[in-house]
């Protein structure tokens, strides 16, 4: 198969000059044709043919017209060149700015344009640069935190393994610690993979109509052994037996699992699960009767790798926040009047 040849690139300035030249050429050509027709119509007048002197008189305007056309053409081309240059210069500046964004420079520019279209384009590029800068910083922070969180259990495993190897530690006790750190490491890796996976919700998942009440009860049932171990009971507070909502069932289930797991870690005797439908949204709520969230920790509870007292990996609540936002909603954390923590996921009804 013959490889297609790449098309030759033409600058906008050259296109403007070529188009304007063509318009001028055809305009002047049409003017000359009209002038020639008028001259031919003036020649025979009732059988009378003008003399040479008459032709000479008629030829002078023709020469003047040709000269005027030539001067006008040159002036028009010069003016068009500078106009085209003034039009393309801002585009070239924006092109260089876009290229700098691609090279990792996300600092917004301070360009000012009189043209509305160029101003809108520049504003869009500045907004893109700002968002990419925030995303780049978040990614760097994420990888730094992930490296730190992965390094801690790995170092612990290495130390205990060396202790066993050199006979410095009791093998049984050391192996139990290694197993705990391995489980923690596996959970951390799973959370890291999961939080990167949910960023592609539109392509990796499909939304189906789900009964949120049944889903929350199933999540509680899966964690019943953990609740029994801590002598904690589940309390269901649902307005209806069925609450249908179109969502990604796997992700919402993971959200409720994370909220319940977090509540069990801090609850004293009970964890309350509720699901209520409002005018334009659904509230999925999990609360506990523990000591509540410290006021210093509360603003950061959904940040990645931020761990409060008794926290695990610092990713669970970040996953909850990401899933809620992927569904067009958000999540809130607050302390109840009785002192326990209340986590509420707001899911919009579309």
Alpha-carbon separation of residue 220 from 193, 282, 316, 335 (angstroms): 24, 19, 17, 21
Residue 114: band (very low, low, confident or very high) from pLDDT cuts 50, 70, 90: confident
- Average of per-residue pLDDT across 88-94: 82
Query: Are the C-beta atoms of 195 and 242 separated by less than 8 Å?
Result: no
Q: Which three-class secondary structure state does DSSP give residue 337?
A: coil
Q: Which tens digits make up the pLDDT trace of 292-332?
A: 888 888 888 888 777 766 666 678 888 899 899 889 999 99
- Is a pLDDT exceeding 50 seen at residue 206? yes
In a domain, 107, yes or no: no
The pLDDT mean for the chain works out to 79
Helix (H) or strand (E) run with residue 341 in it: strand 341-348
**Pair 16, 82 in one domain:** yes
- pLDDT above 50 for 68: yes
Is residue 196 domain-shared with residue 210, that is, in the same domain? no
Mean pLDDT of 112-121: 81
Strands 281-288 and 341-348 come out as antiparallel
Residues 217 and 327 in one domain: yes
Same domain as 217, residue 332: yes
Q: Is residue 1 part of a domain?
A: no
Q: 326: domain range? A: 206-348
Residue 265 lies in a domain: yes
Q: Is residue 339 part of a domain?
A: yes
Domain end, chosen from 37, 69, 102, is at 102
Same domain, 211 and 305: yes
CB of 275 closer than 8 Å to CB of 312:
no
Domain boundary among 53, 74, 102: 102
Q: Transcribe 229-286 into DSSP letters.
A: HTT-EEEEEESSS--EEEE-HHHHHHHHHHHHHHHHHH-SSEEEEEEEE-SSEEEEEE
Q: Is residue 111 in some structural domain? A: no
Same domain, yes or no, for 343 and 217? yes
pLDDT at res. 113: 79
Predicted pLDDT at 336 = 86
The answer to whether the CB of 150 falls within 8 A of the CB of 190 is no
Which pLDDT belongs to residue 215? 95
Tally the residues of the chain: 350
Decide if 96 contacts 126 (C-beta within 8 A).
no
In a domain, 4, yes or no: no
Which H or E run contains 163?
Answer: helix 116-165
Q: Residue 82 and residue 325: Cα distance in Å, rounded?
A: 50
Pair 215, 342 in one domain: yes
Instruction: Enumerate residues 6+ apart whose C-beta is below 8 A from 113.
Output: 90, 119, 122
Q: Angle at Cα 276 formed by Cα 243 and Cα 284, nearest 5°? A: 90
Shared-domain flag, residues 249 and 331: yes
Same domain, 194 and 231: no
| Domain assignment present for 3 | no
186 in the same domain as 160 = yes
Q: Do 197 and 215 lie in a common domain?
A: no
Give the whole-number percent of the chain exceeding pLDDT 70: 73
Mean pLDDT of 276-301: 90
pLDDT above 60 (res 106): yes
Q: Confirm whether 225 is domain-assigned.
A: yes
Better pLDDT: 6 or 239: 239
Q: What is the average pLDDT across 106-127?
A: 85
What mean pLDDT do residues 115-127 have?
A: 85
- Local confidence band at 57 (pLDDT 50, 70, 90 cut-offs): very low
* Domain at 190, CATH number: 1.10.287.130
Number of separate domains in the chain: 3
Q: Of 102, 132, 165, which residue sits at a domain end?
A: 102
Do 74 and 157 belong to one domain?
no
The pLDDT value given to residue 48: 47
Looking up residue 228, the CATH number of its domain turns out to be 3.30.565.10
Give the residue, 54 or 102, on which the prediction is more confident: 102
């Amino acid at each position: 198969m013959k490889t297609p040849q790449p098309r030759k690139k033409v600058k906008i300035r050259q296109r403007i000059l070529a188009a304007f030249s063509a318009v001028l050429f055809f305009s002047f050509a049409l003017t000359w044709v009209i002038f020639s027709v008028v001259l031919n119509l003036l020649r025979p007048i009732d059988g009378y043919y003008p003399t040479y002197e008459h032709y000479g008189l008629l030829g002078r305007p023709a020469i003047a017209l040709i000269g005027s056309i030539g001067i006008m053409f040159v002036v028009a081309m010069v003016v068009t060149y500078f106009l085209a240059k003034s039009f393309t210069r801002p585009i070239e500046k924006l092109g260089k700015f876009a290229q700098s964004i691609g090279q990792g420079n996300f600092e917004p520019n301070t360009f000012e344009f009189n043209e509305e279209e160029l101003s809108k384009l520049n504003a869009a590029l500045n907004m893109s640069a700002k968002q990419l800068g925030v995303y780049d910083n978040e990614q760097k922070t994420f990888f730094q935190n992930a490296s730190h969180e992965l390094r801690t259990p790995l170092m612990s495993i290495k130390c205990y393994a060396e202790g066993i190897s050199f006979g410095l530690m009791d093998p049984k006790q050391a192996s139990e610690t290694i197993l705990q750190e391995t489980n923690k490491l596996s959970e951390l890796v799973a959370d890291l993979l999961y939080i990167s996976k949910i960023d592609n919700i539109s392509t990796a998942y499909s939304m189906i109509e789900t009964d949120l009440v049944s889903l929350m009860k199933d999540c509680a049932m899966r964690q019943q052994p953990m609740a029994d171990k801590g002598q904690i009971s589940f309390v269901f507070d649902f307005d209806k037996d069925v609450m249908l909502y179109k969502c990604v069932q796997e992700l919402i289930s993971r959200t409720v699992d994370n909220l319940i797991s977090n509540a069990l870690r801090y609850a004293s005797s009970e964890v309350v699960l509720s699901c209520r439908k409002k005018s334009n949204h659904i509230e999925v709520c999990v609360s506990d009767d523990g000591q509540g969230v410290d006021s210093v920790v509360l603003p950061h509870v959904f940040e990645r790798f931020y761990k409060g007292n008794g926290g695990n990996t610092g990713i669970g609540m970040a996953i909850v926040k990401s899933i809620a936002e992927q569904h067009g909603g958000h999540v809130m954390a607050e302390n109840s009047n009785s002192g326990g923590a209340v986590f509420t996921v707001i899911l919009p009804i579309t």
